[in-house]
Amino acid sequence: MDITPIDDHGRLFVSPRIDDWSAIDAHGITVVVDLEGKIDEGIPSGDGTRMYLYFPFEDEAVPDPAMVTSLAAFLAELYTNGHRVLVHCSMGLNRSPLVAGAVMHRLGWKGVDAVERLRERRPGALFNQLYSEYLERLDER
């Protein structure tokens, strides 16, 4: 499974669909955000040490900005408290970098810098121009 670390601390990741939960365990990921149209198979039941969030949307338009901003704030808070956060979608190239970029912005990154880092770490990321422009303009909001 192709899990890509985005930050320098190894706590923010993007990936395509989850097909191997042992890879999640190997990275010590405690928060999984699923942006696909169907819930992942084999989600392990747990003891309250892993959070699974389901926020499906299509790779067409930017979803409700208030929801993206709120999700990013929540994930940034978990990140700041030491959690390892994985955001995934079908291919790990548009939806997951969009949300990860919003988290990065919440953590103090400029939108343009977040787009650059995401493309550097995950080649092919943010080819959806609506998503890259949304992140680049976050500083204007």
97-120 pLDDT, tens per residue?
A: 999 999 999 999 999 999 999 999
State which H helix or E strand residue 104 sits in. Answer: helix 95-106
Residue 61 per-residue DSSP state = S
Edge-to-edge, what's the strand order for the sheet holding 51-54?
4-5, 12-15, 85-88, 31-34, 51-54
Q: In terms of residue numbers, what domain contains 88? A: 4-140
Domain CATH number, residue 67: 3.90.190.10
48-57 pLDDT, tens per residue?
A: 889 999 999 9
The candidate with the shortest Cα–Cα distance to 33, out of 112, 99, 121, 115, is 99
Angle at 51 between CA 36 and CA 35, to 5 degrees: 10
Number of structural domains the chain divides into: 1
Cβ-based neighbours of 46, under 8 Å, separated by 6 or more: none
Q: What is the pTM of this model?
A: 0.96
43-88 pLDDT, tens per residue?
A: 888 788 899 999 999 988 999 999 999 999 999 999 999 999 999 9
